[in-house]
A = this chain, B = another copy of it.
């Protein structure tokens, strides 16, 4: 919300700030936009909260205390994002718990359908789920007012946990190549379940879908653009799996 002062290397950022600053009043004036942003933040907040819970649960499968602490740190980082998102929802005039409620069923169902059966499935779920959520936030950030965008983007900061997961998974596959085949299938299942639940949410939450589709008097994505966005998300998922040593 600070004025863009510009700088030698800040021209692109400056342009983005100017575009976003013009949108800020909409967050308070446009009821449909506000509803959509509250939906988005409610979904993110419940997503972080349940990721926190599931990561701690999956930490029970850790083969060592070191691994358990690594997963616990990932979990605590997810929970650490919740308070800021709740504060923004409150600023927008909605009780954060009311905002989260519509997304409980889909997110709980995602987790129920993707309960890891061992430590490596848990690691991949943490890595792939986190990466997919981050990609999605990055995609939609452009359609948000500056304050909300900064909040969403700030939750993307990589805290270095990815390297831990990549190391553990690659080492395990090197020791047991058959594990790679099973985990590749697991990664595909995670992506399929995420898309299934995302479509269910999109079908039920008109304001949120309209935000993405540009239907609330704002620039947005037409259906073809949404299709391309999903293609990009799927492509980045495949890159992440490849980084883990899990070619499709």
State the A residues within 8 Å of B (CB): 46, 49, 52-53, 56-57, 59-60, 64-66, 68-69, 72-73, 75-76, 79-80, 82, 97, 100-101, 104
Contact = CB atoms under 8 A, between A and B. Distances in A.
Contacts of A52: 56, 72, 76
B49 A68 contact: yes
Contacts of A46: 65
B66 A97 contact: yes
Given A76-B79, A79-B76, A80-B76, A69 B56 contact: no
Q: Determine chain A's interface SS by DSSP, over half rule.
A: helix
Nearest to A100: B65
Copies held by the complex:
2
Contacts of A101: 65
The 7 closest A-B pairs by CB, nearest first: A56-B56, A76-B79, A76-B76, A65-B97, A66-B97, A72-B79, A53-B56
Contact of A53 (B49, B72, B80, B97): B72
Contacts of A59: 53
Contacts of A100: 65
A61 to B, nearest CB: 12
A163 B79 CA distance: 21
A84 to B, nearest CB: 13
A101 B72 CA distance: 17
A203 B52 CA distance: 37
Contacts of A104: 65
A57 B53 CA distance: 8
A93 to B, nearest CB: 18
A72 B97 contact: no
Contacts of A82: 69, 72
